[in-house]
Amino acid sequence: MATPTMNRKLTIDDILDLRAYERVREESRSAIIETKRKRRVSLGTIVTLMFENRATMLNQIHEMLRAEKVVNDDLVHEELKAYNPLIPEAGQLSATLFIELTSDDQMREWLPKLVGIERSIVLTLANGDKVRSITEEGHAETLTRDHVTAAVHYVRFEFTPEQVEEFAKGGVLVTCDLPNYLEAVELAPFAIEELLTDLRP
């Protein structure tokens, strides 16, 4: 496991107040849309992984505070506490896993079938090494269930320095090995390049 060389976590000093954020929101949204495009991976027809970083989490916090009209520092600290664990340090990738269902019938069909999906995502490197998803501990208690899964999960992947360099060579498969949802997709070169900014110090 690589040792982080810098702290990437957000502090309250990084958070703009509502008026300041409103002034830069349109410009920052254009940038974050492009960042997310490079970090979004569709796995089969109903699962999407969004690989998070400091920029995506800063945007998420700003949008949450805007939607809830939060101006209280204590509430800002609560958002930081919730989202900072999703910012990867060097040697890590962090992702939000979305199960994208659009109807009650789909939810009744699929959510029981996909129990355990948060532990079933595997990054297979070109040399055959496998890096399996780890459930983000702070959210596992509320999102992990025995009989029906949640539609959103937070996971991370931990790499050795050697695996980081193997990842950089490309040919990385994102797979789900849950028996009810066997899917695989190869990471695009632009996604490899983007995610190396998380994995490397």
Mind giving me the DSSP string for 31-82? HHHHHHHHHEEEETTTEEEEEE-HHHHHHHHHHHHHHHT---HHHHHHHHHH
User: How high is the mean pLDDT of the chain?
Assistant: 93
Task: For residue 6, tell me if it sits in a domain.
Answer: no
Domain range enclosing 184: 12-199
Task: For residue 94, tell me if it sits in a domain.
Answer: yes
For the residues 178-195, what does the mean pLDDT come to? Answer: 98
Task: For residue 175, tell me if it sits in a domain.
Answer: yes
Task: For residue 5, tell me if it sits in a domain.
Answer: no
Say if residue 67 is exposed, middle or buried (CB neighbours under 10 Å; 0-12, 13-18, 19+): exposed
d(CA 148, CA 75): 31
For the residues 24-45, what does the mean pLDDT come to? Answer: 96
pTM of the full structure = 0.91
pLDDT interval class at 59 (50, 70, 90)? very high
Predicted pLDDT of residue 47: 98
Give the residue from 182, 76, 59 showing the smallest Cα distance to 120. 182
Task: For residue 36, tell me if it sits in a domain.
Answer: yes
Task: For residue 7, tell me if it sits in a domain.
Answer: no
- pLDDT one-digit tens code per residue, 131-179: 999 998 776 666 666 789 999 999 999 999 999 999 999 999 999 999 9
Task: For residue 116, tell me if it sits in a domain.
Answer: yes
- pLDDT one-digit tens code per residue, 88-127: 999 999 999 999 999 999 999 999 999 999 999 999 999 9
Q: Give how many domains the chain has, as a whole number.
A: 1
Neighbours of 1 (CB within 10 A): 12
Task: For residue 161, tell me if it sits in a domain.
Answer: yes
Residue type, 146: D
